[in-house]
A and B are shown apart, each in its own frame.
Chain A
């Protein structure tokens, strides 16, 4: 039995079932959708047990990896069990301790880094020279500086958007619309790319199994 061909056929039939929704909702689409949800849930449970829980917790605890058991792993193990306490209303409060640990670690780790990466470096990036950079450099830098300032003015709500403030806010919202347009364009490109990927699969992997070579 050729499992590769069976896999290709399964993929192709399920793809066509899912695309059939574009015509109208139907039982084939619903079957494929439910199959996907069920398979995904099962897949992720097994994947997490064998690729997350076992190597990072069980093997460390029992020493299955390097031969030396690490009994400190009992602590994160207990915190992990606390997360499951949410399923039992009487002891659900225990899960807060585990959540507190996750939130505290995450916040402590990313607070400074996020500030540095997404705030300070970005502010630094908008402080640009307007002279000695050539004509195109001047225009580029001016667009960035004006765009940032006017964009910020648009989000300044303590003063009515009238007069000079209103004009600056108008420029700001125009710049924002251009950014949204670019973002939309990229989104269209991404969705079409996914369709192209699936079309290539149907044309060049599935059709040849029926003797049709394009």
Chain B
């Protein structure tokens, strides 16, 4: 037992990396799936907020992330777009991060095409803007001033979806998919607290805890946190829709759960072996 504890105390970090890799790759390769129960919480709050909007509402989705956080945020974008389109909402996409404009185009065109939604009538991609908070404040008086044309160069006034949308006051809901700053924080501060717009969000798991304070005060309607938030949303969108595909996040949840178990096991084993070995060394005669 003592030898085992000493061996565990000196375990090579590469063994840990290998076990972590196996705990991720094997469940994915075997396509393991775990049930994802969605209880009351910020994911469901966002779902209900979108569900309760009347059909034809205009939702502004800001893609405030880049490819480095795609595994967490792109599944949210796809699931949210599916939900909004099936509810008959119209979507205005934009980005406060440069590469967000391309990622939004990818999500919107893929989902839009699969559901028969037309660009410029049901959705539009305004592209990227610099300035973050400054641009949001400007959009409060005129969206056209910030985006005189869409991402593909079509003039703002020639886009049917935007004929009745002059400023943020004509938007029914804002959703920021955020990997950092600028992102949810800027939208809550400028669009939510300044113009009184309802704001929802999706973010990387790293930044989720800082936004929980906005949920408590009602400054955020709902929040999708990391891959789990995306999987929650996919589950809610799929409910009642039969054998629809599992989405992008749900297949990763088994790997996520198993790798978390491995990490927990290492934390417990590491602490036990550390305490046992070092306690003995402390008590040993000098």
Contact = CB atoms under 8 A, between A and B. Distances in A.
| Secondary structure call for the B interface | helix
Nearest to B149: A65
Contact of B133 (A110, A121, A186): A110
A125 B213 CA distance: 9
A144 B215 CA distance: 13
Given A122-B213, A199-B255, A214-B29, A193 B133 contact: no
A26 interface: no
A22 B255 contact: no
Nearest to A201: B71
Interface string A102-117: 0001000110011011
B130 interface: yes
Nearest to B205: A190
Interface string B129-151: 01001100100000000001100
Interface in B14-32: 14, 17, 20-21, 24-25, 28-29, 31
Contacts of A48: 98
A183 interface: yes
B252 interface: yes
A199 B30 CA distance: 13
Contacts of B69: 194
Interface in A171-209: 179, 182-183, 186-190, 192-200, 203
Given A110-B189, A117-B188, A124 B217 contact: yes
A56 interface: yes
A203 B228 contact: no
A116 B193 contact: yes
A203 B29 contact: yes
Interface in B66-80: 68-72
A92 B24 CA distance: 52
B57 interface: no
Interface string B189-224: 110111000000000111011000100111100000
Given A122-B213, A197-B70, A113 B227 contact: no
A206 to B, nearest CB: 12
A87 B192 CA distance: 40
| Secondary structure call for the A interface | helix
Contacts of B25: 199, 203
Contact of A203 (B28, B205, B225): B28
B256 A189 contact: yes
A214 B192 CA distance: 46
Contact of B227 (A23, A114, A193, A198): A193
Contacts of B72: 190, 193-194, 197
A20 to B, nearest CB: 11
A47 B148 contact: no
A47 B255 CA distance: 36
A25 B36 CA distance: 39
B14 A65 contact: no
B140 to A, nearest CB: 12
A186 B225 contact: yes
B217 A121 contact: yes
Given A114-B189, A121-B217, A187 B28 contact: no
A51 interface: yes
Contacts of A51: 98, 128
Contacts of B193: 113, 116-117, 121
Contacts of A199: 24-25, 28, 255
Contacts of B133: 109-110, 113
Interface of A: 22-23, 47-48, 51-52, 56, 65-66, 105, 109-110, 113-114, 116-118, 121-122, 124-125, 144, 179, 182-183, 186-190, 192-200, 203, 214
Interface of B: 14, 17, 20-21, 24-25, 28-29, 31, 68-72, 98, 128, 130, 133-134, 137, 148-149, 185, 188-190, 192-194, 204-206, 208-209, 213, 216-219, 225-228, 251-252, 255-256, 259-260, 263
5 contacts: A109-B134, A117-B219, A125-B213, A186-B208, A200-B251
Closest 9 pairs (CB-CB, A-B): A197-B71, A125-B217, A190-B205, A193-B227, A196-B252, A189-B205, A190-B206, A117-B189, A186-B205
